[in-house]
Structure 1
Amino acid sequence: MAAAPIASADQTRRDQWALGVLHAESAWKVSTGKGVTVAVIDTGVNAEHLDLKGNVLKGKDFVDGDDDASPEESDSDLSTNHGTEMASLIAGHGHGAGAADGVMGLAPEAKILPIRWGGGSFAEEIRYAVDHGASVISMSVSTSHEFPEDRAAVAYAIAHNVLIVAASGNEGESGQIDFPGEFPGVLTVGGVGRNGTIWEGSNYGPQVLLTAPATDIVSAGWPGNKLRIGTGTSDSAAFTSAAAALIKSKFPDLTPGQIANRLVKTAVLPASAKGLSLPDEKYGYGTISPFAALTQDIPAGSKYGPLVAPGSGSPSAAASAGTSDTDSATEKEKADQKQMVFFVVLGVVSLVVIGLIVLLIVKLSRRNKDHNGGGGGPAGYPQYGQQVAPPQQNPYQQPVSPQQQNPYQQQPTPPHGQWPPQQ
């Protein structure tokens, strides 16, 4: 994310335009993200920043190997601020009288689990987040290299009911979605500007499911209590992670796919995008509308919702997803029940067939006895030597159901969907 320092450390939130168009204050009357932990896998988080203090948990530094996930103290390297910036967009709580100053995140009562990533594979970081209570994992960092262990870690997260949100990238190109955004099960997010249209630097492709604000975003910095302003899809992923935390707080039983379903079903588009066939490779289904996602009557839907099921195209990934013993036992019990029903039906059909054969033999025997081997039997019974019609198709055999159409593919522009979102 490109960033530049802001002169005043007490920058007011009037410059946080994204909170306005996302109707954050209305959303906070419904949910503030309380009780939800969002893991931020990034460059580390400044837990002592005035706008974050108290909302940052003990995490882990996978670079130094300790539990201090603070960024390196280098004011000249803006990349070290990145994790703090993202954390503040998610769970910043401002400061001063009435928290009127500083950065307010979209989910101000969520907790941040800071995880410092040093590059390369992020499998250990994802598994750590899952095992330490995260419900949402925000990843505004990526790698161009596909590690098999990373794919398995993503599947592990989804199997344990943890949503991963990833940024699409900032090159403004098609086919440049890096990992984890490429992996099945990940919610990949692009960026829009103040007018709701796609930001020209937002990477795009079929992996993009949603968009969120990305330009001129005020956030917390490092070191000290500095503030910064920047542009990039990193911010979009952070806002979407925060929106997911709001939903998870209000609807704690929803799966990652069902959370994504609420965001997709309430997404909005600018007037210039009217008539697009959704999902669009740049907008996905549109831009998040947290208040609508929290308040509209939306059926939970299927487990994976609009997300691609982990393991798609890679059976080994599904095998390594880390499904619990309870889940395995449940699946085995269902399989046993299906097998039992099959054998019961087979037994009933077999008895019916045997009964018909016995009845036929008895009738033929009586006819031969009564007519001393001559003459035809009663109407409807075959005579000796007459060929019996082949048995009808097993009435218990279920026809194969045609594959259902994916309800998320090629949808028209939502009737509610105009930018900015309506309250």
Structure 2
Amino acid sequence: MGFTRTLRVISGVVLTGALVLTSAPNAAADRTRNDQWALKSLNAESIWKITKGKGQTVAVIDDGVNPSHPDLEGSVLKGKDFIDGDSSTVPKKGDDHGTAMAGIIAGHGHGAGNQDGIMGLAPEARILPVRANGSTSEQLTQAIKYAVDRGASVINISQGGSTYSADDAEAVAYALKRNVPVFASTGNSGKAVEYPARYPGMVPVGGLQKNGTVWEKSNKGKQTLLTAPAVGVVTTGGPSNLNGYGIGDGTSDATAYTSAAAALVRSKYPDLTAGQIVNRLTKTAQMPASKKGGELPDEQYGYGSIRPLAALQEDVPKGSTFGPLSVPQSLKDEAKVAEKERESKAQQEQADKEFVFLWAITGIVALLFVGGIVLVVVLVRRRKRKRNGGGPGDPGAYGGYPYPPGQVPQQGPYAQQAAPPQHPPYN
């Protein structure tokens, strides 16, 4: 499918002989919805009562996404093409893999009540398409960093190869520092886990059959963390018609389902780190009965098959910053420093709040104290005035003088006599 150098799409479509359901979506609508066995297996209807992934953006680093497919229309953002170097991420003729992954993640169906066509596990999430196939050494590095910088909350890479790149490994660390989990397929050869899934900090995903056992072609290794449906997966796009539908096998599909599950968890728990989101998925994953009690992660199943409903509902402690992710010590050290800085900042903010509160209380107490003193002074003065017969203008006094007008007090031993009345002279 065009991936002839570093990376190739990890899908069993060519190997298994894909069944293209039809070139006209309406004719196959009923069948496509009924054939989505993975949605029933994952209990999607119950999940959607809690969240449908609204507000989340999943970057699909692949061969492009068809934004005109009726089950994806309106959900595909403007992305970037690192293959041709332009902004058009529309797939080339015959490249249907990225469109298929997008449908598994965020297909929303079509028709009356969206009852027809493909439903993704996170139907209200948005897709950020990024065309990249590793045909140049820096391509995947650029694609991962671009997705992070454009606001992706989850990155899906359903591609694989055998070549290690220090720059690619650094790009994964770049994503984790910015709290974006990166999911990648383990591979379809039945051999060792491939790159980029092997890079530290990645979430390698293996494939399961309908009965819950590991798919025989799913690659294995100690890096495997999770497994998900990978066989007989019906989804959007088809080799002969990008607006059609197809069916195939591959750990690509398992990765897309797991990326969608991460988007659902992040939608409900937006404050979790990338590692804590993966921790919820691993802590609620289920191992088959034949593997229970064994050492985890298992080389085939990792921590088990994803159970998104349980990841949304169960009481799972947050855990450490990186959870079960295997990351370089340097990244852990940086995270510890950052955590200490956050704690120090939080403590300083709390101390500042307490300081302001203390001064506010002190100010209120001081005002009450001064007010109390003023009240006491006023009351004492009023009491003194009453005791002295009242002040100027008090009732019972004459303008503040103790004698009626026309009278003066006696001086010494002799009382002053009133002046004799004046009579007019006789004529």
Tell me what 1:130 maps to.
148
The answer to whether the 8 A contact 1:258-1:303 is kept is yes
Cα distance between partner residues in 1 of 2:340 and 2:325: 25
Cα distance between partner residues in 2 of 1:276 and 1:221: 40
- Does 2:113 match 1:101? no
| SS of residue matched to 2:206 | strand
Give CA deviations for 1:7-26 in whole Å, capped at 9, x if unaligned.
45323311000000100110
Shift of 1:243: 0.1
| SS of residue matched to 1:254 | coil
Cα distance between partner residues in 1 of 2:281 and 2:100: 23
Give CA deviations for 1:249-274 in whole Å, capped at 9, x if unaligned.
01011111100111111111233333
Cα distance between partner residues in 2 of 1:269 and 1:286: 4
Tell me what 1:50 maps to.
70
Tell me what 1:119 maps to.
134
Instruction: Tell me the TM-score normalised to structure 1 length.
Output: 0.72
Tell me what 1:9 maps to.
28
Amino acid at match of 1:85: A
Shift of 1:119: 1.8
- Of 75, 97, 100, which residue of structure 2 is paired with 1:82? 97
The answer to whether the 8 A contact 1:211-1:287 is kept is yes
Cα distance between partner residues in 1 of 2:32 and 2:342: 53
Q: What is the alpha-carbon root mean square deviation over aligned residues?
A: 2.2
Moved over 3 A (4+): 326-329, 331-334
Tell me what 1:69 maps to.
89
Give CA deviations for 1:298-336 in whole Å, capped at 9, x if unaligned.
111110111112x24xx5x889x9x9xx959938979xx
- Of 235, 253, 257, which residue of structure 2 is paired with 1:235? 253
The answer to whether the 8 A contact 2:188-2:250 is kept is yes
Distance 1:168 1:329, change over 3 A: same
Cα distance between partner residues in 1 of 2:322 and 2:125: 24
Shift of 1:97: 1.7
Cα distance between partner residues in 2 of 1:51 and 1:225: 9
Tell me what 1:267 maps to.
285
Cα distance between partner residues in 1 of 2:12 and 2:193: 18
Instruction: Tell me the TM-score normalised to structure 2 length.
Output: 0.71
- Give the share of equivalent positions with the same residue, in percent: 55
Tell me what 1:350 maps to.
none
The equivalences for 1:235-254 within 5 A come to 235-254=253-272
Cα distance between partner residues in 2 of 1:296 and 1:178: 32
Cα distance between partner residues in 1 of 2:225 and 2:339: 30
Cα distance between partner residues in 2 of 1:208 and 1:214: 15
Q: Which range moved further: 246-255 or 267-276?
A: 267-276
Distance 1:286 1:67, change over 3 A: same
- Does 2:231 match 1:215? yes
- Of 277, 300, 319, which residue of structure 1 is paired with 2:318? 300
Amino acid at match of 1:210: L
Cα distance between partner residues in 2 of 1:2 and 1:73: 19
Distance 1:46 1:20, change over 3 A: same
Size of the alignment, in residue pairs? Answer: 320
Give CA deviations for 1:11-67 in whole Å, capped at 9, x if unaligned.
331100000010011011111000000000001000110110011000001111111
Cα distance between partner residues in 1 of 2:63 and 2:152: 18
Q: Which range moved further: 206-215 or 3-12?
A: 3-12
Cα distance between partner residues in 1 of 2:294 and 2:110: 42
Shift of 1:188: 0.7
- Does 2:125 match 1:110? yes
Cα distance between partner residues in 2 of 1:97 and 1:276: 48
- Of 5, 25, 32, which residue of structure 1 is paired with 2:52? 32
Give CA deviations for 1:333-364 in whole Å, capped at 9, x if unaligned.
79xx9xxxxxxxxxxxxxxxxxxxxxxxxxxx
The answer to whether the 8 A contact 1:221-1:227 is kept is yes
Give CA deviations for 1:357-396 in whole Å, capped at 9, x if unaligned.
xxxxxxxxxxxxxxxxxxxxxxxxxxxxxxxxxxxxxxxx
Give CA deviations for 1:169-200 in whole Å, capped at 9, x if unaligned.
00112xx2122211111111101100000000
Tell me what 2:219 maps to.
203
Shift of 1:161: 0.4
Tell me what 1:22 maps to.
42
The answer to whether the 8 A contact 1:152-1:318 is kept is no
Tell me what 1:356 maps to.
none
Cα distance between partner residues in 1 of 2:32 and 2:251: 23
The answer to whether the 8 A contact 2:109-2:115 is kept is yes
The answer to whether the 8 A contact 2:106-2:127 is kept is yes
**Structure 1 unaligned runs (5+)?**
75-79, 338-423
Amino acid at match of 2:132: W
The answer to whether the 8 A contact 2:145-2:171 is kept is yes
Cα distance between partner residues in 1 of 2:84 and 2:71: 26
The answer to whether the 8 A contact 2:227-2:302 is kept is yes
Tell me what 2:80 maps to.
60
Cα distance between partner residues in 2 of 1:262 and 1:35: 19
The equivalences for 1:158-169 within 5 A come to 158-169=176-187
Distance 1:253 1:331, change over 3 A: closer
**Structure 2 unaligned runs (5+)?**
1-10, 349-427
Distance 1:68 1:9, change over 3 A: farther
Shift of 1:213: 0.4
The answer to whether the 8 A contact 1:195-1:270 is kept is no
Tell me what 1:188 maps to.
204
Cα distance between partner residues in 2 of 1:98 and 1:12: 16
Cα distance between partner residues in 2 of 1:45 and 1:184: 27
